[in-house]
Amino acid sequence: QKEVEQDPGPLSVPEGAIVSLNCTYSNSAFQYFMWYRQYSRKGPELLMYTYSSGNKEDGRFTAQVDKSSKYISLFIRDSQPSDSATYLCAMSTPNYGGATNKLIFGTGTLLAVQP
């Protein structure tokens, strides 16, 4: 079983729709949760960062973390064609001693917003 599971899509929605992207995970030690957006042939760009459980909102984006269910979500309101990209969830655990954090990524969900 992978540590992080993410539906690869593709997900196609009309412009203006609300998009829901999700990841599940198995490692209860994950405490840091991130969403990255990756355009074709580019590096990942950080969108949202959440520590532990709860919601976080930034403009049209809302990130939710439910640690009891080991489930995280990213919602995009009023989706735009420019939102078309691959969305990657990523997670990490707290440091122990001198160890550095590693990010464990989902496979990414390819989103296409149709004008």
Partner 1 sequence: GAVVSQHPSWVICKSGTSVKIECRSLDFQATTMFWYRQFPKQSLMLMATSNEGSKATYEQGVEKDKFLINHASLTLSTLTVTSAHPEDSSFYICSARGASSNNSPLHFGNGTRLTVT
Instruction: State the residues that interact with partner 1 by CB under 8 A.
Output: 6, 8, 32, 34, 36, 41-46, 49, 51, 88, 92, 94-95, 100-103, 105-108
Long-range pairs, 61-64, Cβ under 8 A, ≥24 = 61/35, 63/33, 63/35
Provide the CB-side half-sphere exposure for 5 (13 A, CA).
8
For partner 1, give the closer residue by CB, 83 or 106: 106
Amino acid 82 reads S
The distance of closest approach from Cβ of residue 86 to partner 1 in the complex, given in angstroms and rounded to an integer, is 9
Report the nearest approach of partner 1 to the CB of residue 16 (Å).
27
